[in-house]
Chain A
Amino acid sequence: MEIKSLSLRARAVVEGFMSGLHRSPRTGFSTEFTEYRQYAQGDDVRFLDWKVMARTDREFIKKFEDETNLRCTFMVDFSRSMEFGGDEAGVKKSDYGRTIAASLAWFLIQQRDAVGLATFDRDVREFIPPRYRQDQLKTILGRLETQPAGQATDLCQALDKLASLVGKRGMIVLVSDFLTPIAELERSLNLFTSAGHDVRAIQVLHPRELDFAFEEAAIFEDMESGQNLILDPGLAREAYLEKIKAHNEALDGVFSAQGITSFRVSTTEPLEMVLLKFLQEQPARAVARQRRSPGRNAA
């Protein structure tokens, strides 16, 4: 995190990536023709190809490639637990997460995609709807650059609210540590996936959270609740590692069941690698859907 400015950091990350086309998840109506289809009752008569009908006396509907590009909303966790880190072991989770969000936003805006931002802790703090505008990136980076002053996370409550805010189907990128009870989370995520969103989750964890490599006994303070616990890390480590492993496995299970592409990153991992991984990953849900109904979009 040598570069202080988030926009520069994002730009540095994005540069060197080839801009590649990616198909919009929705077919719409634009100038670029894609296919004909037999008219079925209920189809809009405006899209009937009158010329073909005059020639062949058959009703065909013209389908076009959707003109609009990707609508992507970044949902970034601004709670206090994300402030952990900033030592020699690794950067703060919040810095790391915000950089990922900013880099991807930059990249997508360069692709002329509509990008939005939502920040949350216990509740939704900020919501910028996805748009493609000249100053959209500036606005998003400006919002991301404000220091998170959040409190405890209630990921589920925030997601429930965001589900009502995010309108059209699009891509949702969740950046959080996901240190929250699993049971509720599954239901909240289902709101997005069932609405057809392409949800991708980036779980940002500090290396200490993964290995609990503390040495001396100390009073451990929960950054969110302020609760204190006197601990000998030597004694507590084993149980901790087991629990966090179980938590992560459960989380993976939830993502997989919901068709959510997820990445678990440590704050020590190079950001470029994470971006590369993110962009190369096929949306699990899209793949699953395409497998379920291959003829519908490919006709």
Chain B
Amino acid sequence: MSFLTPLYLIGALGLAIPIILHLLHDRPKNKQAFGSLMFLDKTKPPVDRKRRPTHLLLLLLRCLALLLLAFVFARPFVTVDDPAAAGKRDRQWLTVLLDRSASMQRGDLWQQAKAKVETALGQLGPGDHFTLYAYGDTADRLVDIDAWQDSASETEVTQQLERLAKPGFGGSDLGQALVIAGEAIQEKQVEPDEQPLAKREILVISDLQKGSKLGEVQGYEWPTGIRVSLEQIGEDDQGNCGMEQVAARTLWAATESVPSFRISNSPNATTDEFEFVVQSATGDPLNQKVHVPPGRSRVVEMPAEWLEQTIQQLSIRGDAAGFDNTYHFAQERQQTVRIVYIGEDKPNDAEGSLFYLQSAFQKTSALGFDVQAVSGQSTEALPEADLYVIGNVVSDAQAKALDQAIRGGATALAIVHSDKQAKNLQLWLDAPELFIADVKSKDYGLLQSLKLDHPVLSVFRDSRFSDFTNLHFWNYRELQSLPSEGVEVLARFDTGPPAWLHVLRDEGRLMVMTAGWRPSDSQLALSTKFIPLLYSILQPVLEAKTQSHQFHVGSRIDVTRFNNGEVSGSVTITPPGEGAATVETADVFLPTEPGLYTASGADWSETFAVNLLPAESRTEPIPMDQFQKLGLPMDEAVASPGQLAADAATAEKTEANRREYWQWALLAVLLFVTLETVLAARGSRAVEPVMTS
């Protein structure tokens, strides 16, 4: 016999109440005064022999009634074996998520993981649903069997596992895999003739390293009724050391950019001494000792003398887990930015514009600047440039050539120094009515109404840099009859006329300044705003020129950005390793393993490096409470509407096999209570003699 609610049996403790009451009732009530109790000893509690039988019966009835009441509430039942139900078992859906991220390359984790999958198959019975996903950056469904058949299905799964000889090199997006698996279970409709699924479980077989991404689960409402269990493979008892390249600082602030690397040691690491080794294409390996305490990270700059070598690969020695110890490095070539100044200034004239322009652009390891001066009246063909700075009147032919260059994608900066430039501006701004008025300020003009959210001025958006009140303009011009459309005013003078204008022309851009940086015009060249402003104007060009050639496995590489963004047609990608098949692509390439790749077009070729995701190096386990915080039902399944129906069916079946006796017990309670009432009433009618004193 079992009980549905056995806790109610505690109510049987209530038996003590009638027993105590009966004991109290047996105490004599009458008092007898006596001269002195000095000769009397305490005797045993006196028992009233005359009333005992009646009381005992009442007590018995009362106790039985209470006992049965507790029994009724506990819902006793006896399960009767149903021969028809015997042999049947509940159908379940088991989904296995097998981690094949790069961190699974450690030791024999992969073999262990595959063995765990095979072990998990043992719990499946005929008719169960089984799904196997292998996940890294993405989750791939390898097996999906609707109705499990013992040997045939097991062979299928084993074959699929054998095909996965090695884990991948990608990251581990556990969150995405869980969501995909969860959605698949949720969306599955049970056919009317199918046996309902009593249990839905997702089994994650993984090293559960901290670098796993779980973000996707955070924004996903986990379907009820799907239980998640985790099978952690291996113990990270030695820790791991990871390496990643640190991104260079802002281009215009860095005079010299040296590649630097962040070496991170995991908190549970047993060692803190590592060696940073560079394998150059020629010569002996170069090394440098690095001390990184457990749980810390350290940025190491590549020594200057190493930069003279052709470096393709860096590695860490002294780390137990070797899967992430090699870093492939594609050395950046210095890119040249061509700037053409059109004007009559002399390069050494400190009163002119060119002098300051040359000084503003300084060579770095990544970028070289080629500033060329061209006369505005030159009849020679306009040289190609990334930035044209126009400081004087140009001939019509040159103006047209410039207009074409701008429309073709070049960037130009026109500085209005005289009203004679009106004709040029009419052409470039499509404003035939435009004329230039010279403004002679009594003291000086200030900038106001700056559009700091415009990409050109966004560099000054921080309140620390947005103060322009120290920038004084002695001479400036006013452009009148400007077109109402297409011209963006980035800043105005405090007297109202526009100071800086920005115009988009087809694929190129033109910026107009109505006051230059010559010392006779303004303080701009000497202010701290000058260099950031020029770099900001050049930003799109610099970004294209300083395109990084470092990528991670699984990242989408936009091949059109190679060759300074000048790519036409498809690009041939040659993966690392001997005899690797080349890949032709016109837009995106997804690298699957680390190494140095070569991208080549019709007349160009570039090398780029692909490395493991830095997150994969974080091999310490994820704290288990993180899963609970994400709302994953780790311990007990919560019934979904579908499962509720299934549960109801199961419950019905169970109830049919259950023989409950509480109704009979309740009847007995009523009987005892009635008897007790009758006996008690009879007892109270018979007046008992009261002891007189």
Does B37 contact A227, Cβ atoms closer than 8 Å? yes
Residue of A nearest to B691 (CB): A216
Does B44 contact A219, Cβ atoms closer than 8 Å? no
Does A239 contact B41, Cβ atoms closer than 8 Å? yes
Q: Which residue among B27, B34, B37, B693 has the maximum number of chain A CB atoms within 10 Å of its CB? A: B34
A197 on the interface (CB 8 Å rule)? Answer: no
Does A236 contact B34, Cβ atoms closer than 8 Å? no
- Could you say which residues of chain A place their CB within 8 Å of the CB of B44? 232, 235
- Could you say which residues of chain A place their CB within 8 Å of the CB of B46? 217, 230-232, 235
Does B34 contact A179, Cβ atoms closer than 8 Å? no
Q: Which residue among B28, B32, B36 has the maximum number of chain A CB atoms within 10 Å of its CB? A: B36
Given A217-B28, A218-B691: A229 touches B36 (CB 8 Å cut-off): no
Does A220 contact B43, Cβ atoms closer than 8 Å? no
- Could you say which residues of chain B place their CB within 8 Å of the CB of A239? 39-41
- Cα A228 to Cα B34 in complex, Å, equals 10
Does A221 contact B32, Cβ atoms closer than 8 Å? yes
Scan residues 235-268 of chain A and give those whose CB is less than 8 A from a CB of chain B: 235-236, 239-240, 243-244, 247
Does B34 contact A221, Cβ atoms closer than 8 Å? yes
- Cα A235 to Cα B44 in complex, Å, equals 8
Does A231 contact B40, Cβ atoms closer than 8 Å? yes
Majority DSSP secondary structure for residues of B touching A:
loop
Does A243 contact B37, Cβ atoms closer than 8 Å? no
Does A218 contact B35, Cβ atoms closer than 8 Å? no
With contacts defined as CB atoms under 8 Å apart, how many contacts are there between chain A and chain B in the complex? 85
Q: Which residue among B28, B40, B44 has the maximum number of chain A CB atoms within 10 Å of its CB? A: B40
Does A230 contact B45, Cβ atoms closer than 8 Å? yes
B442 on the interface (CB 8 Å rule)? Answer: no
Residue of B nearest to A224 (CB): B36
A127 on the interface (CB 8 Å rule)? Answer: no
- Cα A93 to Cα B34 in complex, Å, equals 12
Q: Return A221 CB to nearest CB of chain B, in Å.
A: 5
Does A230 contact B28, Cβ atoms closer than 8 Å? yes
B31 on the interface (CB 8 Å rule)? Answer: yes
B48 on the interface (CB 8 Å rule)? Answer: yes
Does B48 contact A217, Cβ atoms closer than 8 Å? yes
Q: Which residue among A218, A222, A227, A235 has the maximum number of chain B CB atoms within 10 Å of its CB? A: A218
A50 on the interface (CB 8 Å rule)? Answer: no
- Could you say which residues of chain B place their CB within 8 Å of the CB of A179? 35-36, 38
- Could you say which residues of chain A place their CB within 8 Å of the CB of B40? 220, 229, 231, 236, 239-240
- Could you say which residues of chain A place their CB within 8 Å of the CB of B38? 179
A198-238 Cβ-contact flags toward B at 8 Å (1 or 0): 00000000100100001011111111110111111001100
Q: How many residues of A contact B (CB 8 A)?
A: 32
Does B34 contact A84, Cβ atoms closer than 8 Å? yes
- Cα A219 to Cα B33 in complex, Å, equals 8
- Could you say which residues of chain B place their CB within 8 Å of the CB of A227? 37
A7 on the interface (CB 8 Å rule)? Answer: no
B42 on the interface (CB 8 Å rule)? Answer: yes
A142-154 Cβ-contact flags toward B at 8 Å (1 or 0): 0000000000000
CB < 8 Å: which of B27, B28, B35, B45 contacts A177? B35
Q: Return A80 CB to nearest CB of chain B, in Å.
A: 8
Q: How many residues of B contact A (CB 8 A)?
A: 24
B484 on the interface (CB 8 Å rule)? Answer: no
A81 on the interface (CB 8 Å rule)? Answer: yes
- Cα A228 to Cα B520 in complex, Å, equals 121
B123 on the interface (CB 8 Å rule)? Answer: no
- Cα A229 to Cα B27 in complex, Å, equals 11
Residue of B nearest to A93 (CB): B35
CB < 8 Å: which of B28, B43, B47, B48 contacts A219? B28
- Cα A5 to Cα B691 in complex, Å, equals 32
Residue of B nearest to A245 (CB): B39
- Could you say which residues of chain A place their CB within 8 Å of the CB of B47? 232
Q: Return B217 CB to nearest CB of chain A, in Å.
A: 73
- Cα A231 to Cα B43 in complex, Å, equals 6
CB < 8 Å: which of B31, B37, B39, B42 contacts A218? B31
A98-116 Cβ-contact flags toward B at 8 Å (1 or 0): 0000000000000000000
CB < 8 Å: which of A206, A218, A222, A235 contacts B28? A218
- Could you say which residues of chain A place their CB within 8 Å of the CB of B27? 230
B379 on the interface (CB 8 Å rule)? Answer: no
Q: Return A93 CB to nearest CB of chain B, in Å.
A: 7
Q: Return B688 CB to nearest CB of chain A, in Å.
A: 11
- Could you say which residues of chain A place their CB within 8 Å of the CB of B43? 230-232, 235-236
Does A221 contact B39, Cβ atoms closer than 8 Å? no
- Cα A220 to Cα B40 in complex, Å, equals 9
Q: Return B21 CB to nearest CB of chain A, in Å.
A: 18
B655-693 Cβ-contact flags toward A at 8 Å (1 or 0): 000000000000000000000000000000000000101
B136-154 Cβ-contact flags toward A at 8 Å (1 or 0): 0000000000000000000
Q: Return B577 CB to nearest CB of chain A, in Å.
A: 103
B611-629 Cβ-contact flags toward A at 8 Å (1 or 0): 0000000000000000000
Given A217-B48, A230-B28, A232-B46: A223 touches B39 (CB 8 Å cut-off): no
Additional A-B contacts beyond A84-B33, A217-B691 (5; CB < 8 A): A84-B35, A216-B28, A217-B28, A232-B44, A235-B46
11 contacts between A and B (CB under 8 A): A81-B35, A218-B28, A218-B31, A219-B31, A219-B32, A220-B31, A222-B37, A223-B36, A230-B27, A230-B28, A230-B42
Instruction: Give the 4 A-B residue pairs with the shortest CB-CB distance, closest first.
Output: A217-B46, A232-B46, A243-B39, A218-B32
